[in-house]
Amino acid sequence: MYVFQHNQLLLFLVLLIAGSTAYALGIHWLRFYQPPRRAVWLFLILVVPLGIVAAHVAFALINSRSPAAWPAFFLSVQGWRSGYASIGGAAAALLALALTALIQRHRIVPLLDQFAPLAFITIAMLRVVCLVNGCCHGRPTDLPWAMRFPSAGLPEGLTPPSHPAQLYAIAANLLIYLLLPQLIKRLGWRAGSGVLALACLALYSLQRSAVEFLHLGATSQVACCGLSLTQLILLPAAVVAITGIVVLSRAEARRPASDAGGSTEPD
């Protein structure tokens, strides 16, 4: 039986812990990265509807839904109850941030540095929803922490014991977020240079691509060269981000000490 099936107490405890964690990390994000508060509110207002629509469209594209199936997928309540891809949500977040910068006349690069770490908190919480919902699990395994997930097409309506890939993603995203401040201090990254945003892109792309290997054959399919479509997008993105970090870091190192500024923490 699926661990959350008919177990409302466990479900409540998981959501309570997730909500409390998200709140605590959100407060940390506001205090450490100090994004403009008005920009935060506008971004949230924009990103929620844009993210839902973009993630739904991305799921349809990634899963090659035929145009004939789109009306049921986009014009019915049942269609909107499932079928979302995080890569579409990420694209929507970038659009929402660009619109926020345009409307409030902020420079986009500092905003990217301030908002990029928030992605790890958000994605971790979304994976909690995936865990509760039973979607986005990994392929079968005999590891002792394997879980069974709902699947209407299989006997008993459950998968074989499978990788709880959602838990791996939650742990990876939260770990990256918690280590970012130390990474900023150790590498001396200057706030507003764009390096932090590129580092977040590289770290997310690498960890997401790694976890994706556990999805292949279960909730994700090979598109080309043994990789899924998500990996074919994210791995080149990681290469571009790492290249950008190297270029910006070298440019920063060549700057006169008097121009480099003081604190490496975002202002």
DSSP 53-99: HHHHHHHHHHTT--GGGHHHHHSSHHHHTS---HHHHHHHHHHHHHH
Say if pTM beats, i.e. exceeds, 0.95. no
Q: Encoding tokens for residue 3? A: 């661990």
Residues 6+ apart with CB under 8 A from 73: 56, 60, 65, 79, 83
Torsion sign over Cα 123, 197, 61, 206: negative
Contact 202, 245 (CB under 8 A): yes
Residue 216: beta bridge partners?
A: 220
Residue 140: beta bridge partners?
A: 162
Burial 85-120 (b: 16+ CB within 10 A, else e): bbbbbbbbbbebbeebbeeeebeeebbbbbbbbbbb
Each residue's pLDDT, cut to its tens digit, for the chain (267 residues) gives 577 877 888 889 999 999 999 999 999 999 999 999 999 999 999 999 999 999 988 888 877 667 788 888 888 888 887 788 888 888 999 999 999 999 999 999 999 999 999 999 999 999 999 999 888 899 999 999 999 998 877 777 889 999 999 999 999 999 999 999 998 888 877 778 899 999 999 999 999 999 999 999 888 888 899 999 889 999 999 999 999 999 988 887 777 654 544 444 444
- Distance from the Cα of residue 30 to its chain's centroid: 18
Distance from C-alpha of 107 to C-alpha of 100, rounded to nearest angstrom: 10
Residues counted in the chain: 267
Three-state secondary-structure class, residue 162: strand
pLDDT reported for residue 167 = 96
Nearest to 124 by CA among 33, 34, 207, 8: 207
Distance from C-alpha of 18 to C-alpha of 181, rounded to nearest angstrom: 22
